[in-house]
Amino acid sequence: MEKFKSGFVAVIGKTNVGKSSIINRLVGEKVSAIANKPQTTRTRIKGIVNRENSQIIFLDTPGLHKSKSKLGNIMIENAIEAIPEADVVLYVIDASKSSVDEKIIEKLRENNKKTILIINKIDLINKEELIKIINKYKDLYDFKAIIPVSIKKEKNVEDILEEIERNLDEGPAYYDTEEYTDQTLRQIAEETIREKALKLLQDEVPHGILIEVNKMKTRKTKDMEKIYDIEATIFCLRDSHKGIIIGKNGSMLKRIGTYARQDLENILGTKVNLKLWVKVKKDWINDMSIVKKFKADE
């Protein structure tokens, strides 16, 4: 009988390389917010994959970037600190961007972890370019495997799980087989609302958005159907941002709320009554009493 394996897999890389999309696809559930904006992932989120002979716990980390705030510093810390804690590292790069991040390579060498290189977005390049990328990275680090994938085209994605399982040691199931994330329902609601805001808002606004769920309760409707009442506040950095988030006659806030409610109904499997407010909390991204909640070990 095959021995049961388990372990923690840190998924690292620059912003917008597709880390969260890969985890969501492998887990088969939405555990991480996805938006085509830098810094979409702020803290370390776990996604759990239960297989016949293994349990793989993914640690989705914030994209590595140049920090301009205390929040940014914590995000980078979360990503870097995940490397020594992991049993296996997935290093994700964007096939269409040629520059090598020497700092990440240095961190991998420093920790000498089993690392699998994932070359994502191969649908954007040709075979000759892909071969060049593979050869370049082969010389930089002793990767356990190099897997070219396209999440968009669903190419070679299952190979990732097979390769991770090969590199895990024997171990117990850390989580119940029904679980797919360590996030609370409140955190899932906050991330869902933030994702919709990130997708819909202008570039200068999303970095300064903070979502806080103030109320999350279930009740029965007149027809005795279960419904979640969720009330949340969207905090932003400036008065001008508040106007953009609300939109003309409340149109933008309504769109954010509609898309978030639809997603939450799918996740929770019940009707959702979602109410959103917008408030200004100036320079919260540098307020340690607020940003410390994003620290992975808090």
- Residues spanned by the domain of 198: 185-294
Q: CA 289: distance to chain centroid?
A: 23
Indicate if the pLDDT at residue 72 is higher than 90. no
- Spell out the residues 6+ positions from residue 39 whose beta carbon is closer than 8 angstroms to its own: 15, 62, 63, 65, 72, 75, 206, 207
240/230 Cα distance (integer angstroms) = 26
Q: Ranked by mean pLDDT, which of 22-31, 33-42, 133-142, 287-296 comes out on top?
A: 133-142
Task: Report whether 95 contacts 120 (CB < 8 A).
Answer: yes
**Of 49 and 32, more confident:** 49
Element (H, E) at 219: strand 210-220
Residue 196 and residue 159 share a domain: no
* pTM for the predicted model, two decimal places: 0.69
Residue of 239, 240, 217, 212 lying closest to 228 (CA atoms): 217
The pair of structure tokens assigned to 4 is 């049961």
177 located within any domain: no
What CATH number did the domain enclosing 12 receive? 3.40.50.300
Q: What is the pLDDT of residue 179?
A: 82
Starting at the edge strand found earlier in the chain, the sheet holding 145-148 runs: 45-51, 54-60, 5-12, 88-94, 114-120, 145-148
What is the tens place of the pLDDT at every residue in 3-48? 899 999 999 888 888 888 888 888 887 665 554 544 444 455 788 8
Q: Are residues 123 and 267 in the same domain?
A: no
Rounded CA gap, 283 and 69, in Å?
9
Lowest mean pLDDT among 37-41, 256-260, 276-280: 37-41
Mean pLDDT confidence for 189-203: 85
Total structural domains in the chain? Answer: 2
Judgement on whether residues 159 and 200 belong to the same structural domain of the protein: no
List, for residues 50-62, the tens digit of each pLDDT value. Answer: 999 999 999 877 7
What is the average per-residue pLDDT within 216-220? Answer: 91
Q: What is the pLDDT of residue 37?
A: 42
User: Residue 247: which region, alpha, beta or left (left: phi > 0; alpha: psi -120 to 50)?
Assistant: left
